[in-house]
Amino acid sequence: MPTGAKPPVIVLVRPQLGENIGKAARAMLNFGLTEMRLVTPRDGWPNPSAGPSAAGADIVLERAKVYATLGEAVADCAHVYATTVRKRGVTKPVVTPEQAARDIHAAGSTRSAIVFGPERSGLETDDVALARAIITVPVNPEFASLNLAQAVVLCAYEWSKGAGPGLLEQPTVEEILPPAPQAELDGLIAHYEALLEPFEYFDPPARAATTRRTLRNMLTKPGWNHLEVRTMRGVLSALERRPRKD
Amino acid sequence: MPTGAKPPVIVLVRPQLGENIGKAARAMLNFGLTEMRLVTPRDGWPNPSAGPSAAGADIVLERAKVYATLGEAVADCAHVYATTVRKRGVTKPVVTPEQAARDIHAAGSTRSAIVFGPERSGLETDDVALARAIITVPVNPEFASLNLAQAVVLCAYEWSKGAGPGLLEQPTVEEILPPAPQAELDGLIAHYEALLEPFEYFDPPARAATTRRTLRNMLTKPGWNHLEVRTMRGVLSALERRPRKD
């Protein structure tokens, strides 16, 4: 990790379907998380349904550890976040995935855990009691049933944003060439003007200055690079040739 | 949504599995998006596999519209974002879901579309050519296979962050006209092509597709508004006239 911050542990409490455990593993690895902990998975562990839906994130499943209780699963973690969509009447801070990610990065080398409940019912009150804070994803209140893997992917994604360029591929803009120098742009504009002049595009003379300015503004807007300017010059040169008779 | 900004349209291009269409619908509705468009879904439409995995987001599926081409699906959209993980060598801005969400909110009442490719292969180069910008989710480069519904949920989630009450306070930049709708841009591109064709600009035939794509990419880049598109149409119309003899 290029950052001093330890990636959070992802804890699935009593997950029901192996398929969802696999999908959660895939979502984790997509954003650079590898440590999964399972608390009494319904169908035991390992679960043959998990592998196929992990779509290659096998390393996460192979390293997953199973615990009898949530307390044991988060015993080494100083910051435990319980994810829930439901209001629990508990007096704990409620944060978004974004805020939790910031706090986890700020925690440095201290271990953090993000805890997810079973697919159908979510975390029990006793599970939530173990957490220092609650993560609630701000969803559409009229359609709030976020599935397990998607709750995991949002938390992992938010964490990854702060994980530094070493881990994640940032969109690079290196392949975007800068706009062509002004002289090349001027050459293009002059070419357009020379081409258009015989077609009386700049008539009547009283409007010529405005028409030229409009054309310049339009051709300046794209920020075409030198290759693009050259291509457009090619377009104009083609139009200067004698057309094919059909 | 308590905002003046129009929610983006979600476009799925040649989706393979109905199950994934359903999951995408669920992900959309979780974050308040309801308008789905499908371009030639592999198994036709409606697809009985979509409903169960939508988990209640039936309204999104019922309202989904089917199109024969991506061009038609985004014809009314001024801001088209293509999602892709792959480097394409195209000179378009590459943004994160977060940046795209900000831009979409800033676009106010102008229509935006976020376009997703087929599960296995992603968007083709010709699909990407229709877009003004590329969204790349910054994933773990060693495990970058983000599934369709998860790519959708991340984009919808980022959009939803700006859709809250805070957005209402942000002034919109009314004086800057938005890019012309895709249909007008397509009209301009077709006009260029028709004009150039007799001049053998697209010869030899083996290179024609690439030449057309280059032209489309160049003319998409400016984000010309409808006045500018009309001006450029005027330029082309002038060139179709008979030149003055000097």
pLDDT digits (tens, 9 = 90+) for A57-115: 999 999 999 999 999 999 888 888 999 876 556 667 889 999 999 989 988 777 899 99
Are B146 and A154 within 8 A, CB to CB?
Answer: no
pLDDT, position B182: 87
Mean pLDDT computed over A220-228: 86
Residues from chain B that touch A238, judged by Cβ atoms under 8 A, are 196, 199-201
Predicted local confidence at residue A148, as pLDDT: 94
Task: Name the minimum distance, in Å, from the CA of B41 to any CA of chain A.
Answer: 23
Would you call the peptide bond into A205 cis, given omega within 30 degrees of 0 as the criterion?
no
Query: Per the CB < 8 Å rule, is B145 touching A56?
Result: yes
Assigned fold of A9-161: Alpha/beta knot (3.40.1280)
Tens of pLDDT, residues B222-241: 889 889 999 999 999 999 88
Q: Nearest CA of chain A to the CA of B116: how many Å? A: 17
Q: What is the mean pLDDT of residues A18-33?
A: 96
Domain spans of chain A, in order of start: 9-161, 182-240
Identify the three-state secondary structure at position B38. Answer: strand
The Cα B84–Cα B81 span in angstroms is 10
pLDDT of residue B44: 96
Which pLDDT score is estimated for B246? Answer: 57
> Per the CB < 8 Å rule, is A147 touching B55?
yes
Does B208 lie at the interface with A, CB-CB under 8 angstroms? no
Positive or negative, the CA dihedral A28, A29, A35, A38 is positive
Model pLDDT, residue B235: 93
Suggest the residue from B3, B28, B29, B30 to mutate for an interface test with chain A (most A CBs closer than 10 A): B30
- Note the pLDDT tens digit of each residue in A171-187: 444 456 777 787 888 89
Cβ contact, residue pair A173, B93, below 8 Å? yes
> Which of A31, A138, A196 faces B140 most closely, judged by CB atoms?
A31
Positions of chain B with pLDDT under 50: 1-3, 165-175
Asked if A147 reaches chain B (Cβ–Cβ under 8 Å), the answer is: yes
Q: Which residues contact A137 (CB under 8 A, 6 or more apart)?
A: A83, A85, A96, A97, A146, A151, A154, B157
Q: Does A202 touch chain B (CB under 8 A)?
A: no
Residue A221 pLDDT > 50, yes or no? Answer: yes
> What letter represents residue B156's amino acid?
A
User: Sorting pLDDT into bands at 50, 70 and 90, what band is A246?
Assistant: low
Q: Which amino acid is at A86?
A: R
Predicted confidence at residue B106, as pLDDT, reads 87
Amino acid making up residue B143:
F
A107 within 8 A of A3, measured Cβ to Cβ: no
What contacts A66, CB < 8 A, 6 or more positions away? A37, A38, A39, A40, A41, A45
Closest CA to A121 of A16, A19, A21: A16
C-alpha distance from B67 to closest chain A C-alpha (Å): 27
pLDDT of residue A185: 85
Of the listed ranges A3-7, A135-139, A153-157, A188-192, the least confidently predicted one is A3-7
A241 pLDDT exceeds 90?
no
Whether the bond between A52 and the residue before it is cis, its omega within 30 degrees of 0, is no
- State the Cα–Cα distance between residues A19 and B204, nearest whole angstrom: 52
CA–CA separation, B77 vs A8, rounded Å? 40
Would the pLDDT of A245 be above 80? Answer: no
The span from the CA of A65 to the CA of A38, in Å, is 6
Q: Which residue out of B26, B87, B153 would a mutagenesis test of the A interface target, given it has the greatest number of A Cβ atoms within 10 Å? A: B153
pLDDT in tens, A39-62: 999 999 999 999 999 989 999 999
Cβ of A154 within 8 Å of Cβ of B154? The answer is yes
Q: Residue B197: CB partners within 8 Å, gap ≥ 6?
A: none
Contacting residues for A203 by C-beta, under 8 A, at least 6 apart: none
C-alpha span between B11 and B130 (Å, rounded)? 13
